Each structure stands twice: as C-alpha cells, then as structure tokens.
Amino acid sequence: MNAKDTFFSTKTTLNCQGKILSLHEPVVMGILNVTPDSFFAGSRTTSEKTVLERAEKLLTEGAAILDIGGYSSRPGAIDISPEEEQNRIVPAIKSLKQEFPDAVISVDTFRADVAQAAIEAGAAIINDISGGTIDGRMFATTAALQVPYILMHMRGTPQTMQTLTQYQDLLPEMLRYFAEKVDALRQLGVNDIIIDPGFGFAKTVEQNYEVLRQLEVFRMLELPVLAGMSRKSMTYKTLNIGPEEALNGTTALNMLALTKGAKILRVHDVKEAVQTVKLYLKTTNA
C-alpha cells in the first residue's frame, strides 16, 4: 500500500444482496450484452443458450461480476423502449441465477423501472451510464433497493453525447459532478457507490487520455473507481485498427488504470484482464 492509498481511505467492500464482494484487490467485470447492436460483436448474445455459454466462459476465466445490458450505449445507438430493454434483460438474469446462483450480476441500465425489475430477478448492482440524469427516479430507486450503484460521468444521451464534449476544465468539472451526485445518493441512504469516469461518453479521444493520465485524482472521493476502456475508440482509433484488434491496446490501458487506483476493470475479455490484475499485484504490496 502506498502513501496515496493511505491518505485516501477508499472503501473496499460492496454488499451485493447479502454477498460481500471484496475490492481489496482489483476485480474484473465481464460484459454480457443481450443486444443485437453492441459495438463489439464478440460481446453480443441473442438467445438463452448463448447467454449461458458466454456467462460460463466469463465466470470460468475469473469474472467477479457479470454486467448484463439490453440497451446499446455506443455513440449514436438506436433508442429502444423500456419494455423491450426489460424483455431482453429480465429473462436472461433469471436464467443466469438459475444456472449460476452464486454469480454477482450488475444491470447496465439508466432506467429505474428496468433496474428494479432486474434486481427483483436476481441482479445485485445497478450500473447507470447516465449518473441519474436521464431518469430522475434512479437514485431513489437505488436507495429503496439498497444495492451498490455505479455512478458514471456522461452528458446527454447515447444519441447526443458525442456532440457534448466541450468543457472549460474537464477534470474539475467531473469531480464537481461526482461530488454533487455522491452527496445526493448519500442523503437518500445509498451505502455502496462506485465511480466510473465514463471513458468514451461525451469525451473526445484526447479527453479520454486526459482522464486516464489523471485517474488517481478520483481517489479523493474515497470510493472505488471502475475503468471501462475495453476495445473502445480511444484504443482502436489511436492505433488505426478496429475493435476486433484492440485487445492488446486494452490490456495496456487496463494496466495503467490499475497503477492509478482502479479497483474494477470492465472488459469483454476476462481472461486477459485477470492476468493483468495478477501481474499488477506482483508489482505491489496489495
């Protein structure tokens, strides 16, 4: 443990519906999309069979959390109704909990009703890309459900976010955003909050790297930080390749994020991320 870790006492456990998930050492969250249009084709599942097969693969490779999403949040994604999103997510979660009862599942949604249905079906964490800005009921719903909440930084919607990349001072604005929302969540009684800087959301490629270079500043919030850079444009556009070729670059950026305090890596490729965490821990006293 280094001096920065000592000064900023980051919370290291999450209460996931009675199951305590330790973040003393970084963990890996595996992406499980029940969508036909996610930007990386390798993460898409469209039937119960493929959902269970991918989940088994992610868990076998060492995923501590399965993050299931039914709404593609890639830039310019097609909007779908809450009913369609829920119809994709809830049956998948029920199947996952029946097949893998000990799995910790997070639901990737910005809609309070979808989040509630997912938690009732067996999910244990809410992962909200909008930070409560798209659905004003999300914070109260999270508080009522008493589950961990992943608070991400974004502007606008998936359809408009890439037109909203103008900031006077990016990092201070992000810190103010998080401080205000954490305070609102605390006042409602939400106990477990995870910070997600929102790589790729309302940020240019260069802004993404600015956030990564200064990722350790989020430690002052004394909350776990999630880094979600897997196969995103900040990697493949920089390297002039496609998402399918961006695993190596993702691994490099994940290692850097770990050295700057990330506690959760959200990835498509769990085996490689777990290996990255193991190698990182070899270089520290964590």
Active site residues: 232, 266
Residue type, 233: S
For residue 231, the Cα-to-chain-centroid distance in whole angstroms is 14
The angle at the Cα of 159, spanning 132 to 175, to the nearest 5 degrees, equals: 40
Which token pair is 46?
């469209």
